[in-house]
Structure formats: C-alpha cells, structure tokens
C-alpha cells in the first residue's frame, strides 16, 4: 500500500508486526568532506544551509573524522573519500541506501548531487564486494532522495515520505517498490522544508522524534505521534532548528545526534528518550551543519 490516506495507512500499519527486518543497521558508511564547500544549487531549496563564507573545510574534515571514530564504538563504519566535484557528498544517505541484499541509488534533484550517483567505487563495493543487487533510480526523471525524503520503520516495513521539490509522488512510489515496503504514507511538507529527515526520526522501531511545524498538515504529525505512543516525542521549534530530529539509532539503546542538537534538547525530551530506553550520543558537527544537514544525513546505513 502507498497512499495519502491517513486512516487507511494507519489501519494497515497497525496490522504490521515488527518482523520485517532488523530495526537498526549492521554497519554504516560515510563520505569524507574532501572538497567540502558551498553548493549554490543545493542552497536554492535548503533553508538550513549557511552562507558560503561560513564553510570551513578543515574544520569539517576534523569533525567528520571524530564522527567516524565515535560511530565505530557502536558498529562497523566505512568511509569513502569525497571530491571537490561533489561538495554535498558528505550526505550520502540521500543518494545511496540499502535493504538486506540490495543497494538503492536515488535520483537527486540538483545536477551537483546527481554526480554522486555515478560513483563507481561505492556501487562496486556493494555489488561486487558484498554481492548486493542494485536498483538504480538515478536515471529516471522523478526526484527521490532516498532516506532524506523517506523515513523508514525498518522493523515494520513502513515508510513515511515527505513530498517536496526533492521527492514527488512518482519518486515516492519508486522508493516504496525499491525497498519492498509493506505500506508507505505520502504527505506534503511545508513550503521551505526540503527533507523529512530533519522533521522525523524513527528510533529502532519503537520511538519517534517529531517536529510538527514542518508538516503541511498538522494532522499527519499527530497521527504519526499517536502511532508511536507512548514513545512519541514532539519537538519544540528550537529543538528542530538545532537538528534534533536529524537523529538516528544505530543500536537498540542509543540515539545519535549532533552536539548542537543534544544541547538543545529540553529536559522533557531527554526524560522521554530515557523512558524509551535511549541514551543520547553526540558529536560536534557545527562545521558540517553549515551544509544544511546534520548527523543522520551523514550516515548511510548498511542492512
């Protein structure tokens, strides 16, 4: 099922057991910020990006190295080199994503990011080294920026797809099929929001961080929160602006976010995460966040 109908989606979702697959990834890969710089095309529809003068490539490299070191305490981490030709490649989850035994390559909206999909080394790592089958969506015309636009409950096989200039309905349908999901809910983001994963995080299939003000229809955010109750956490505007929703669980008992996001958490949010069984892990990412994304965007999951 892929639908915009809230009632139909959640009626189906409530019948889905948490037996679709592992709730968290078995490894992760990153792309280093070599050539990290301001990309004007990306800035045209990403309000979170800083001005070009705020980009500090050396600081970004140091932060990214610290991120790799921190994440490897939780799971295996692979880092590919970046390139000056792909200044946004530090956010690989928009371009490459996996399901067990499968690599999915997305179709980016902007030409500067479409270059990333042509990385033969990343493709070869999955298809040749790991033996994954490849589903290549990069050559069709509909934008579908993978786990930037599509937040997946991996335990239940459910997709939540925020539609914007970075993902249209046909792109959502292509991703739904590529990941083999049981049900996907499509809905519009507010104008000015580019990716759902700065507004919603599903944590190990049992909790959700929801930033309601980024949804075009408040009923959608409320319905998602109701589905993940009692462990649905509604974020304040300040928490969302600090990228608190751009978080990820890479294990059953932890949630990773940037240090800035962690500082912005209210006592109530911290308490709710603890009640859901999650400890907060954070890494300083101020330089990388100038590019308009945060920790979750830096992490491409390997299932």
- 96-99, strands of its sheet edge to edge: 96-99, 102-105, 133-136
Rounded to whole angstroms, how far apart are CA atoms 215 and 212? 6
Per-residue pLDDT, 18: 96
Q: How far apart are CA 299 and CA 286, in angstroms?
A: 16
Asked if residue 224 lies in contact with residue 208, where contact means CB atoms within 8 angstroms, the answer is: yes
Chain centroid, CA 168 distance in Å: 17
Two tokens, residue 112 = 């500067």
| Domain span holding position 267 | 2-302
Q: Give Cα separations from 82 to 30, 64, 124, 144, 150 (angstroms).
A: 9, 12, 16, 22, 24
pLDDT of 38 above 90: no
Q: What is the pLDDT of residue 158?
A: 98
Strand partners, 281: 256
Question: Looking at the predicted structure, is the pLDDT value of residue 49 above 80?
Answer: no
How many C-beta neighbours within 10 Å does residue 71 have? 23
* Distance between CA atoms of residues 194 and 94, nearest Å: 12
By three-state DSSP, how is residue 214 classified? helix
Give the DSSP letter of residue 107: B
In this prediction, residue 131 has a pLDDT band, given cuts at 50, 70 and 90, of very high
pLDDT at 40: 87
Q: What is the CATH number of the domain that holds 77?
A: 3.75.10.10
Q: Give me the residues paired with residue 258 across strands.
A: 283
| Closest among 46, 124, 94, 123 to 292, alpha carbons compared | 46
- Residue range 199-254, pLDDT digits in tens: 999 999 999 999 999 999 999 999 999 999 999 999 999 999 999 999 999 999 99
User: Structure pTM?
Assistant: 0.96
Share of the chain above pLDDT 70, in %: 100
Terminal C-alpha separation, the chain: 23
The burial of 142, by beta-carbon neighbours within 10 Å (0-12 exposed, 13-18 middle, 19 or more buried), is given as: middle
- Whole-angstrom Cα distance, residue 94 to residue 268? 31
Average pLDDT over residues 139-165: 98
**pLDDT surpasses 80 at 10:** yes
Q: Using CA atoms, how far apart are residues 222 and 6, in angstroms rounded to an integer? A: 11
Query: Taking a C-beta distance cutoff of 8 angstroms, is the pair 159, 13 a contact?
Result: no
Assign 187 a pLDDT band (cuts: 50, 70, 90): very high
Please tell me the predicted confidence (pLDDT) of residue 42: 85
Tokens of 187: 């809905």
Of the pLDDT bands very low, low, confident and very high (cuts 50, 70, 90), residue 52 is: confident
User: Could you give the number of structural domains in the chain?
Assistant: 1
pLDDT at 202: 98
């Amino acid at each position: 099922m892929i639908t915009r109908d809230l009632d139909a989606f959640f009626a189906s979702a409530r019948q889905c057991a948490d037996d679709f697959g592992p709730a968290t990834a078995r490894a992760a890969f990153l792309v280093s910020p070599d050539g990290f710089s301001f990309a004007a095309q990306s800035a045209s529809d990403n309000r979170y990006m800083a001005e070009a003068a705020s980009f500090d490539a050396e600081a970004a490299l140091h932060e990214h190295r610290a991120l790799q070191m921190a994440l490897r305490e939780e799971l295996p981490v692979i880092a590919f080199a970046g390139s000056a030709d792909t200044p946004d490649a530090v956010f690989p989850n928009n371009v490459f994503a996996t399901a067990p035994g499968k690599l999915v390559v997305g179709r980016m909206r902007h030409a500067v990011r479409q270059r990333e999909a042509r990385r033969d080394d990343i493709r070869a790592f999955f298809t040749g080294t790991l033996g994954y089958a490849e589903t290549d969506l990069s050559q069709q015309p509909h934008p579908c920026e993978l786990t930037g636009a599509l937040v997946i409950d991996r335990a239940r096989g459910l997709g939540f797809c925020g539609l914007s200039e970075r993902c249209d309905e046909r792109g959502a349908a292509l991703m739904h099929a590529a990941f083999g999901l049981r049900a996907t809910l499509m809905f519009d983001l507010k104008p000015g929001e580019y990716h759902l994963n700065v507004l919603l995080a599903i944590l190990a299939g049992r909790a959700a961080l929801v930033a309601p003000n980024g949804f075009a229809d408040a009923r959608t955010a409320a319905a998602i929160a109701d589905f993940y109750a009692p462990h649905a956490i509604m974020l304040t505007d300040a928490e969302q602006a600090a990228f608190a929703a751009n978080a990820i669980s890479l294990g059953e008992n932890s949630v990773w976010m940037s240090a800035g996001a962690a500082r912005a958490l209210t006592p109530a949010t911290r308490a709710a995460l603890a009640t859901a069984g999650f400890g907060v892990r954070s890494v300083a990412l101020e330089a990388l966040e100038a590019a308009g994304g945060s920790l979750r965007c830096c992490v491409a999951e390997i299932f």
